[in-house]
Amino acid sequence: KYFDEETASKFYNINKTPYVNNVFKNKNVVIILLESFSKEYVGSLSNYKGYTPFLDSLIGKSLVFTNAFSSGYRSMDAIPSVVTSIPCLIDDPIITSVYANNKYTSLAEILKKKSYSTAFFHGGTNGTLGLDGFVSFLGFEKYYGRSEYNDDKDFDNYWGIYDEPFLQFMIDEIENLQQPFFAMGFTLSSHYPYSLPEKYKNKFKEGPLRIQRVVRYTDYALANFFKIAS
């Protein structure tokens, strides 16, 4: 049994009125998407110690959404969810599905119409997960990956450039973007096989799970990003 439209409207109004009187503000926008940062690793969201002291410090003075749920199973599911607001509704990731070349309305496209410059950053080997082609299709003007970083001394021998140096590289390149800008970064070190730079092998100890020490490392990299960017 279903409500008819008149009855349903008493409980929920499906017609949304935009805030037409608001003035658009050309603020710079930066999104940092953290690979595999499950809620259980974030102490302030899980009521225990956790592995993300810096992220916890941000959460203490930020707008935080605690009723958040997974919108996919794989890393490549995240980009469509965040940039186009389309969660993973099919078995295959949108990026590699028959729908990959559909026309999408993306945040990059919307902001380009507001004269924003746009750039996407992922330290993986170019072509990894099909990200470079897909985000270009979504309207990002520039893509920065392992090739653009162009220094394999920071290569993890598996996915790409370690998070700490690549996030610093991201800051340097953002400095060159015309304002206002929209920059999006996607970390990778907390993806299997959870590799750490040699100099941090003793700094970030193993937890009950191998991923936890790499979550600590990426949290540390994030702290340095904020320190330099500020």
191 pLDDT more than 90: yes
164 pLDDT more than 80: yes
**Percent of the chain clearing pLDDT 90 (strictly above):** 69
21 pLDDT more than 90: no
The tokens for 154 are 């920071």
Q: How far apart are CA 44 and CA 71, in angstroms?
A: 22
Give the mean model confidence (pLDDT) for residues 125-153. Answer: 95
Eight-class DSSP state of 85: -
- Confidence at 14, pLDDT banded by 50, 70, 90: confident
- Confidence at 32, pLDDT banded by 50, 70, 90: very high
Question: Cβ–Cβ contacts within 10 Å for residue 102, how many?
Answer: 11
Q: How far apart are CA 143 and CA 145, in angstroms?
A: 7
Whether the CB-CB separation of 184 and 164 falls below 8 Å is answered with: no
pTM: 0.89
